[in-house]
Amino acid sequence: MWQPFREEHEQFRATVRRFVEKELTPFAEEWEESGCFPDEVFRRAGELGILGAHFPEEHGGSGGDYWFSVAKSEEFPRARSAGVGMGLLVQSDMATPVISDLGTPEQIEEFLKPALRGERIVSLGVSEPGAGSDVAGIRTVARKDGDDYLISGQKTFITNGSRASFITLLAKTNPEAGAHGCSFFLVPTDTKGFSVSKKLKKIGNKSSDTAELFLDSVRIPRRYLLGEENMGFMYLMQNFQTERLIAATTAVAGSQLALDEAIQYGRDRSAFGKPILKREVWQHRLVDLQIKIEAARAFCYRTVDRYNHERYVNKEPLSMETVKLISMAKVLVGEMNSEVMDECLQFHGGWGYIEDYNIARAWRDARLLRIGGGTTETMRYYIAKLMGL
């Protein structure tokens, strides 16, 4: 039987699980109430090598392959607070891979290495009030001014945005060129003209801070341009694949955790004279959920295997087939995850609607997967194009 995880992956998984269960889970309720978790969590994850396990050693990582990131993502749902996992995954899998791919040695030293150590918190600045899944519609502009760039615009839905020390930010450098006129920049948040206009109140993932950002002629040196000018959209499309894939593997693990807890609840809870787990109607519904989880996990693992082979073994750009599979994985898992959480909440009856039970929070948090990183509708649009439809 094919087993993607080797002994070193499982040792790393054990490290992540200890960290989650001892240093995150006990504080889930507190951090949900406060709407944030401490900055120290980033530093602690960095000390344990959790943030950089799948980055090259010369970039401050451990030199592992992508399966290390998958192992990590499968343990984060045990924190019982999806916002914590979201904040850490933005740090390790969404805002930093593009720096590793494109960064100069100086950019690696100044930004990436301290981020992987958890010493500098980072956000990915792409979405705007008028441009979410349609990133080609962004209006933030970066114009040259001597040896600098002046950046003006707004960003919204930015995880870690209210406390990040820098933003990996997408802006238009050639507005007339549409999607092909975008560039990536590293923007320190202590630069004059940068401000957090407000923290956004969300229905889920409450322990992660999500902010709206404002840039008013923020001046940054030319050396903070990531990669080539006007190539940002191409870089983003590559970076999006990591974000979507890691979100899918995380959600599969979260679905399994919710189902396992529902089954235990069904053993302990009786109605009309016997445990509700013994009711055939619920047995069949729970079986169907397990089948769907297994199918989604198998699809994700197949996709991860292709992604890992292309990016980490061959060190080449992703094929369109792999991009298509990643988009399919996000659609498949997003819909499966919502169904599992909804059925498990229903299985708990009235207690499922009470936040003392983990399923209430998991149900609420799961809704984001069909929106963030590209809506399900946007994913289907991309898949249709890749299928030649």
| Domain contains 217 | yes
Burial 365-374 (b: 16+ CB within 10 A, else e): bbbbbbebbb
Identify the burial level of 80 via C-beta atoms within 10 angstroms of its C-beta, where 0-12 means exposed, 13-18 middle and 19 or more buried. buried
| Predicted local confidence at residue 347, as pLDDT | 95
Q: HSE (CB half, 13 Å, CA atoms) of 79?
A: 31
Q: How far apart are alpha carbons 266 and 209 in whole angstroms?
A: 35
| Predicted local confidence at residue 197, as pLDDT | 92
> Residue 161's closest CA among 114, 204, 215, 80?
215
Task: Read off the pLDDT of residues 42-65 as tens digits, 9 standing for 90 and up.
Answer: 999 999 999 999 999 999 999 999
| Domain contains 73 | yes
66, 112: one domain = yes
Among 208, 226, 244, which residue terminates a domain? Answer: 226
Average pLDDT over residues 281-306: 97
Look up residue 289 and give its DSSP letter: H
Task: Read off the pLDDT of residues 227-285 as tens digits, 9 standing for 90 and up.
Answer: 999 999 999 998 999 999 999 999 999 999 999 999 999 998 887 888 888 888 899 99
| Domain contains 255 | yes
| Domain contains 302 | yes
365, 243: one domain = yes
pLDDT at 2 over 80: no
Identify the burial level of 26 via C-beta atoms within 10 angstroms of its C-beta, where 0-12 means exposed, 13-18 middle and 19 or more buried. exposed
The CATH number covering residue 94 comes to: 1.10.540.10
374, 285: one domain = yes
- Is residue 122 within 8 A of residue 96, CB to CB? The reply is yes
Look up residue 103 and give its DSSP letter: -
- Total domains in the chain come to 3
Among 226, 252, 283, which residue terminates a domain? Answer: 226
pLDDT at 169 over 70: yes
| Domain contains 2 | no
Q: Which helix (H) or strand (E) holds 211?
A: strand 210-221
From 243, 280, 321, 355, the catalytic residue: 243
| Domain contains 96 | yes
Is residue 54 classed as helix, strand or coil in its secondary structure? coil
The CATH number covering residue 262 comes to: 1.20.140.10
Q: Which helix (H) or strand (E) holds 220?
A: strand 210-221
112, 41: one domain = yes
CA geometry: angle at 106 spanning 231 and 225, to 5°? 25
205, 280: one domain = no
Structural domain of 11: 7-116
Percent of the chain with pLDDT over 70: 100
| Predicted local confidence at residue 271, as pLDDT | 79
Average pLDDT over residues 15-22: 98
pLDDT at 85 over 70: yes
| Predicted local confidence at residue 1, as pLDDT | 61
Q: How far apart are alpha carbons 206 and 80 in whole angstroms?
A: 11
The CATH number covering residue 182 comes to: 2.40.110.10
Active-site residue flag, 7: no
251, 324: one domain = yes
Percent of the chain with pLDDT over 90: 90
Tokens of 371: 């929106």
What does each C-alpha distance from 244 to 94, 191, 207, 324 come to in angstroms? 9, 30, 21, 11
296, 333: one domain = yes
Which pairing describes strands 122-125 and 166-172: parallel, antiparallel, or unpaired? parallel
Among 62, 89, 116, which residue terminates a domain? Answer: 116
Tokens of 79: 């924190």
Please, which residues have CB within 8 angstroms of residue 360's CB and are 6 or more apart in sequence? 345, 352, 353, 354
Q: How far apart are alpha carbons 106 and 225 in whole angstroms?
A: 12
Q: How far apart are alpha carbons 37 and 44 in whole angstroms?
A: 12
254, 152: one domain = no
